[in-house]
Copies of this chain bind each other. A is one copy, B any other.
Amino acid sequence: MKHLLVVAHGSRRAASNDEVRTLCQQLKQLDNPFVEISCAFLELAEPSIPEGLQALIANGATEIVVMPYFLSAGRHVTADIPAEIEPVKQQSPQVKISIAPYLGAAEQIGEILMEQALQAIL
């Protein structure tokens, strides 16, 4: 029972948070091994990371991958997200919770960025 929790920063701007929610819905269309895919926010939006994790656990998750939807390995990725996860790990030690590499670590980011840049001159 693998579940995926996409974690974004969260914004005061509702439309930005909705972009993340829409992305999570789109992920479900891709071939993937996850029983459920949902999102959570580090701050400024709901659900929080602990709330998101607890909802998946209540839904039967035995393994959860937390995917940081961040571009750089700043404090949020290296410290804040692990700190939000830790109490849930202690409360539910039977659930395996792992953190995937953050989005910006993906090798393909450069190519996508170049494609987006070319759209401005075509």
Contact = CB atoms under 8 A, between A and B. Distances in A.
Interface of A: 2, 4, 6, 8, 11-13, 15-16, 19-20, 23, 26-27, 30, 32-34, 63, 65-67, 69-75, 98-106, 108-121
A9 to B, nearest CB: 8
A72 B113 CA distance: 14
Contacts of A32: 114, 117-118
Given A101-B119, A114-B32, A71 B72 contact: no
B73 A120 contact: no
26 contacts: A4-B117, A6-B117, A11-B74, A19-B73, A19-B104, A23-B109, A26-B110, A27-B113, A30-B110, A65-B120, A65-B121, A67-B116, A67-B117, A67-B120, A69-B71, A69-B113, A71-B103, A98-B120, A98-B121, A100-B117, A100-B118, A100-B120, A103-B113, A105-B116, A108-B112, A112-B112
B112 A73 contact: no
B20 A114 contact: no
Contacts of A108: 108, 112
A32 to B, nearest CB: 6
